[in-house]
Amino acid sequence: MEEEVYNADEKELFELIEFVVSFFAGAIPQSQTDIDNRQKMYEQSDHLKKFVIKHANTRFEFEQNEIEDEKKEWTDYYDATCTHCKFHSSFQPIGMVKDANYYRFFTFKCSKCEKEFRAEYPYEPHQLVSYYDTYIKNAAKRDKQGKIISMKINITEEELSGMIERYKDLKSKVHILDKAVMDYEKSEEEYNGLIKTGIFNYSEMKKTCIPLPFPPSIN
Ligand SMILES: [Zn+2]
């Protein structure tokens, strides 16, 4: 299916602008004020139309990129270690599994032993943050000041601090991304409000576009 660049509100606004502009183009001005007002209306309409076209196309491009990025998740290669034969390489996902906590993991097929295995970490960034968070909390026994007393899992303190660094880095990246998404949604909301106002204004103008009755025909 062909993707639509313009949404229903934008199309409605275009139609209204078109109607009002062509009505005024065909009307006979009664005064200089009429001529000036008409000119002003043309310019405003043209400006609004250009603004909507630009915004809708940027949004369309953004959405297409999102779709492409999602597709890419499945064609990209990920570093992983086979849980069966410990072969370390880059693999393309062949599927996805959920664990008991609903974390989603890619599954890969090992190119050495040919067995399937699950990725060590979830792939979705928010899930990965939460996964790291739980992992780090449960990795060591700590005193009240947070100092490590003993390790609860089979990794060294250095490995754990490396992981904590990666966790902090990931968390701030996810935070920046979330903020960008929120800003984008807020600006879209404002834009949609602007379109609604445009529809209202041009509908009001359309109401004043009363065609003159045809002159009576002369027999
Ligand atoms: Zn293997």
For residue 108, the CA-to-ligand 1 centroid distance in Å is 10
The verdict on residue 193 lying in a domain is no
For residue 104, the CA-to-ligand 1 centroid distance in Å is 21
Contact 110, 117 (CB under 8 A): yes
The verdict on residue 139 lying in a domain is yes
For residue 161, the CA-to-ligand 1 centroid distance in Å is 28
For residue 105, the CA-to-ligand 1 centroid distance in Å is 17
50 plus 102 within the same structural domain: no
Backbone angles phi, psi at 218, to 5 degrees: -95, 125
Q: In which element (H, E) is residue 191 found?
A: helix 157-207
Instruction: State residue 56's pLDDT score.
Output: 97
The verdict on residue 191 lying in a domain is no
Q: Which two tokens stand for residue 132?
A: 């790291």
- Residues linked to residue 126 through DSSP beta bridges, in sequence order: none
97 plus 116 within the same structural domain: yes
24 plus 56 within the same structural domain: yes
Contact 118, 105 (CB under 8 A): yes
Give the burial class of 71: count Cβ atoms within 10 A of its Cβ; 0-12 exposed, 13-18 middle, 19 or more buried: exposed
Instruction: State residue 53's pLDDT score.
Output: 97
* Domain ranges, residue 39: 8-73
Q: Residue 216: is its pLDDT beyond 70? A: no
Instruction: State residue 149's pLDDT score.
Output: 83
The verdict on residue 172 lying in a domain is yes
Give 148's pLDDT tier (boundaries 50, 70, 90). Answer: confident
Contact 29, 35 (CB under 8 A): yes
CATH code, domain carrying 101? 2.30.30
Question: 211: which DSSP letter?
Answer: P
The verdict on residue 204 lying in a domain is no
Instruction: State residue 91's pLDDT score.
Output: 97
The CA angle 94-98-101, to the nearest 5 degrees, is 155
Instruction: State residue 106's pLDDT score.
Output: 97
Instruction: State residue 165's pLDDT score.
Output: 94
103 plus 48 within the same structural domain: no
The verdict on residue 15 lying in a domain is yes
Query: What percentage of residues in the chain have a pLDDT greater than 70?
Result: 95
Task: Report the 10 Å Cβ neighbour count for 212.
Answer: 8
For residue 154, the CA-to-ligand 1 centroid distance in Å is 22
The verdict on residue 57 lying in a domain is yes
Q: Which residues contact 24 (CB under 8 A, 6 or more apart)?
A: 38, 41, 42, 209
Number of domains in the chain: 3
Q: Residue 19: is its pLDDT beyond 90? A: yes
Question: Average pLDDT of 171-200?
Answer: 96
pLDDT in tens, 41-97: 999 999 999 999 999 999 999 999 999 999 999 999 999 999 999 999 999 999 999
Instruction: State residue 141's pLDDT score.
Output: 86
39 plus 52 within the same structural domain: yes
The SS3 assignment for 26 reads helix
Q: Which residues contact 92 (CB under 8 A, 6 or more apart)?
A: 74, 75, 76, 77, 78, 108
- What is the per-residue burial (b if ≥16 Cβ within 10 Å, else e) of 26-47? eeeeeeeeeeeeeeeeeeebee
Give 113's pLDDT tier (boundaries 50, 70, 90). Answer: very high
Region class of 149: left (phi > 0), else alpha (psi between -120 and 50), else beta: alpha
149 plus 179 within the same structural domain: yes
156 plus 139 within the same structural domain: yes
The verdict on residue 60 lying in a domain is yes
For residue 94, the CA-to-ligand 1 centroid distance in Å is 14
16 plus 69 within the same structural domain: yes
Contact 46, 20 (CB under 8 A): no
